[in-house]
Structure 1
Amino acid sequence: MRLMRIGEPGHERPAVAVGEHEYVDVSEHVADFDEAFFAAGGLRDLPGLVEAGAPRPLAGERIGAPIARPHQIVCIGLNYRDHAAESGMPVPTEPIVFSKSPNTLVGPDDDVVMPRGATKLDWEVELGIVVGSRASYLDSPAAAWDAIAGYVLVNDVSERAFQLERGGQWVKGKSAATFNPAGPWLVTPDEVGDVMDLGMSLDVNGVRRQSGSTATMIFDPAEILRYLSQFMVLEPGDLINTGTPPGVALGMAEPAYLVPGDVMELRIDRLGSARQRVVPAV
């Protein structure tokens, strides 16, 4: 299944995509795709709701992030061998973990706002994991795979000067408003297939900047969940950004950072595509 949320910010309705250009609205039966939904096993009921519903055309309606604001967004750094090489850093022996403010979450085609004082705005196409059940001290890969509700296309937008030149933790360069576009869908594992063989790409103003595959990930989704659960409790609906392939501006010999007016277009096989325009802060 492909879960999505449709409507203006703060008023999104839960829905399920059918075909390429239609959806079934399930808002009469589901309040939202949030912690309560996943914790109650709501995914089990969706096929019946979709079968009983009437498809509607998706025409001109805003698509929001496919999940409601989560408890937390947890991120994994340098999780692609080729990106670590691009960054001139050793391959990590354990996942590099940092957090991102949950209120960065926006829809797949929403604008990205360049923060005040920003000078090094960067892009990162990433595979996102949505947690499906409460996870603490997971003891096996099988338990970790079972705790995954699905996957989502995300852009882990970063401000590199805030992140790397202002001291302290990376979170400062990761948590500005609109810095986590996600969607169009949350795709359940059965529909994704082999999550370790998904092509990924990101273009800026029509120029290909990132091209990679989840095949070069260092730590797979199950290992990421198992590892994180040793240090924190993951709640249903939490989002985990799993790292990016090479091609970010930071890795260029002469970095071409984003400026207002730039357009990012990104996609991951079977997870859909997204498009974001950079706009200045008000």
Structure 2
Amino acid sequence: MQRFTRDELEAQAVERRTGGLDEAKELWTRVNMCAFIKALCGKLEMTEFGRCMANAFFQIGAHRKWPGEERARVEAATAAVLLASKAVDELPSPQLKVVTETAYAFRYNINVNAVPDKLAEFTAAVVGWEKCMLLALNFDLLVADMQAAFRSVEEAADMMCALLDLSSVPEPRRPHAAANIRKAVVQRAMRELTDSMKTRCILMLAGREIGVAAVARALAASTKQGVVPRGAVPDVSGQPWHAVLGVPEPAVGAFNDEADRMMRAVAASSRQAVPRAK
């Protein structure tokens, strides 16, 4: 996987010469997106194999708002960063090879669904999948991850904004331009992270309803088919998410309501624990 030094990122930032909110989207969609997620994941300190796999899986489905190929690129970069940077360190050599190749396939084939064989190999290679689900479906860890995410987003946004070249912006406006870009980056990142966390809430509730092992099996099977359950999204590759997971339909509305309530609780506790962005 291609890695970028600070000097390389700085050179790319100089080329962009960006100075306002309109340019923040370009920053997000180009190579700094990959660097930003890499920095974010690194700061989350996900050292346990199970937590890493859970977060990798959920992040692949977290960027559903991105249209077409751009969304696929974000998914690919995210998967590559998470899988190659974290998971491989704790796998034996044969599985290390499969996961590394899968990360490259995600990164360079762009479309996740274009590599079903690799997905199947990847799923087969991941050991301790039920452990990963147990960790992902733990509410205390969800709260801790959200609090860590708040800190990480702030720190990574500072890192990215430090690389900007604002020489094309009149000097009196530079602090305002930098603040606007930082605010846009933080808001976008928190929207995506909140979506991912809500998915974990939904899956946690599903685990209570039908058992964590059953959810883990359903997720593993759907991953082999390129299907990514996405929480409250009403349709996943032609199938309702609750059908993919085997959740009884009458429970679906209650799950969404309960997940919203839990997200409000998590966000409130996170805001108390972490200073707000200025």
The answer to whether the superposition gives a TM-score over 0.5 is no
Shorter-chain TM-score: what band? under 0.3
Structure 1 or 2: more helix by fraction = 2
TM-score by length of 1: 0.26
Give 1 or 2: higher strand fraction: 1
Larger Rg: 2
